[in-house]
């Protein structure tokens, strides 16, 4: 996801490739229902345009060693997972060695008719961010620190109806890799309600309304996003979903703060401005088990997201992911991601089209050893100097595993999106787990 606070294309991938990620090393302790594991992976990556520069590209080689510790507990009524990982990353080329990491805990508690769930997490990683520049938009490599917490409650009202509520909060802060950082820190929160109706054994309707707010030193935005959608399991192997909705927002912005950075045609507007925006949000996805060894997942979605520009962004996102197991020891993944982002601030409006293509091959060449190789090409519509820029990234990693780990699914999964509720693909409690949990997608251009 470069990651515009929400999406991240990581030019410095902490683990090379998603199929291997972090593997559990031979430390596995079990006490009652708890499983505690530790492990590590090591990899090296070459990026031919480390800072996403439109010209004078600077290459970098990044070596990463990442240990981790994870604990899980599962019972008929409770699921708990926790993870801590810290990585040392050495960079040759630009002088930009760094420490990255993530920590998180998730839990779900169920009784006969209701479920409480929540996730708290913190991630530090180098990521490309959209920023305001004198000529409009540009891209900046920053150390991004993201903290987020979400929680929700769902209760079955009848055999067909269920209702619930959810709340979330986040904060993004940025540090400079070189020079001074231009990305604007942002924080926000959201809350809303949700209703689900089981139309049939295979079809479910989902309705929700979310209220959200974001605050930066440039503007304060408040929005409401009602959506309605469906999930339909056409066959045992095919599930489709779709959703439609809209958004209405009010933004109080400081034109002076924006025009201090970006060129404002016609001079600086009023020192403070208020605007109202609105529009449609559409989304949907397809999850298809092509065979016992092949799976396809694709999605289209529009949503409202925060960004390093300090302004709210409307994203149109298309993603596709195909995985295939060639044998018990060899698997591959091909993925693509396209993002169209629109950025609006007092005195300036800009758009950017970004994409990422990635292929990964994972080989378990021994019972406890995995070799993982990947290639990724990324393109941003506005690079370091505001002009388009591309990068090619190749990498390889090796990991030692004690067997089939029971660690949380997010180990080795790159941070993908911090999305305020929009009209993305709808999920259902009735779907198979692999359809409900989207596969790892490539680190995509910022939004």
pLDDT the model gives residue 425: 58
pLDDT the model gives residue 346: 59
Q: How far is residue 149's CA from residue 121's CA, in Å, rounded to a whole number?
A: 6
pLDDT the model gives residue 22: 35
pLDDT the model gives residue 24: 36
pLDDT the model gives residue 314: 79
For 319-346, what is each residue's pLDDT tens digit? 898 999 999 889 999 999 888 887 766 5
| pTM across the whole model | 0.77
pLDDT the model gives residue 13: 28
Q: How far is residue 67's CA from residue 88's CA, in Å, rounded to a whole number?
A: 9
pLDDT the model gives residue 48: 93
pLDDT the model gives residue 424: 59
* The Cα angle at residue 20 between residues 17 and 24, in degrees rounded to 5: 140
The domain made up of 24-436 is a member of CATH 1.10.3470: no
Tokens representing 228 are 């309605």
Q: Which residues of the chain have pLDDT under 70?
A: 1-32, 133-136, 254-272, 310, 344-348, 383-386, 401-447
pLDDT the model gives residue 257: 58
Kindly state the helix (H) or strand (E) to which residue 81 belongs, with its residue range: strand 78-92
For 344-399, what is each residue's pLDDT tens digit? 665 567 778 888 899 999 998 888 788 999 999 988 877 555 678 889 999 999 88
Number of Cα atoms under 13 Å in the Cβ half of residue 178: 12
pLDDT the model gives residue 259: 58
pLDDT the model gives residue 330: 93
């Amino acid at each position: 996801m470069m990651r515009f606070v929400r999406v991240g294309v990581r030019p410095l991938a902490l683990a090379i490739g998603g199929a291997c990620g972090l593997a559990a090393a031979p430390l596995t302790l079990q006490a009652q229902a708890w499983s505690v594991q530790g492990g590590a992976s090591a990899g090296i990556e070459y990026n031919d345009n480390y800072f996403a520069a439109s010209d004078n590209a600077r290459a970098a080689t990044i070596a990463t060693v990442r240990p981790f510790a994870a604990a899980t507990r599962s019972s008929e009524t409770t699921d708990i997972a926790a993870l801590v990982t810290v990585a040392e990353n050495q960079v040759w080329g630009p002088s930009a060695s760094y420490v990255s990491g993530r920590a998180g805990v998730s839990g779900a508690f169920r009784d006969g008719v209701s479920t409480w769930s929540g996730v708290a997490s913190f991630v530090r990683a180098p990521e490309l961010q959209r920023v305001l520049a004198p000529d409009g938009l540009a891209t900046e490599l920053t150390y991004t620190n993201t903290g987020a917490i979400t929680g929700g409650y769902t209760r079955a009202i009848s055999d067909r109806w269920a209702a619930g509520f959810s709340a979330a909060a986040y904060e993004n802060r940025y540090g400079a890799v070189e020079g001074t950082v231009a990305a604007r820190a942002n924080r926000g929160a959201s809350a809303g309600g949700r209703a689900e109706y089981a139309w049939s054994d295979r079809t479910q309707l989902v309705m929700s309304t979310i209220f959200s707010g974001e605050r930066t030193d440039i503007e304060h935005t408040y929005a409401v996003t009602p959506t309605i959608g469906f999930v339909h399991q056409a066959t045992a192997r095919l599930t489709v979903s779709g959703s439609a909705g809209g958004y209405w927002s009010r933004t109080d912005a400081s034109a002076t703060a924006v025009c201090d950075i970006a060129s404002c045609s016609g001079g600086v507007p009023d020192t403070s401005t208020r605007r109202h925006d609105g529009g449609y949000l559409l989304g949907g996805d397809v999850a298809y088990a092509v065979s016992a060894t092949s799976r396809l997942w694709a999605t289209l979605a529009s949503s409202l997201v925060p960004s390093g520009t300090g302004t709210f962004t409307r994203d149109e996102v298309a993603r596709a992911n195909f995985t295939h197991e060639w044998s018990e020891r060899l698997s591959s993944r091909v993925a693509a991601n396209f993002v169209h982002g629109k950025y609006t601030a007092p005195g300036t409006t800009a758009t950017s089209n970004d994409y990422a293509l990635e292929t990964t091959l994972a080989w378990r060449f021994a019972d406890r050893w995995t070799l993982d190789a990947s290639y990724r090409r990324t393109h941003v519509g506005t690079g370091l100097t505001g002009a388009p820029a591309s990068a090619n990234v190749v990498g390889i990693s090796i990991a030692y595993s004690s067997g089939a780990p029971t660690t949380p699914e997010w180990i080795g999964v790159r941070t993908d999106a911090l999305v305020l509720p929009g009209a993305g693909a709808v999920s259902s409690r009735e779907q198979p787990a692999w359809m409900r949990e989207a596969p790892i997608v490539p680190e995509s251009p910022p939004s």
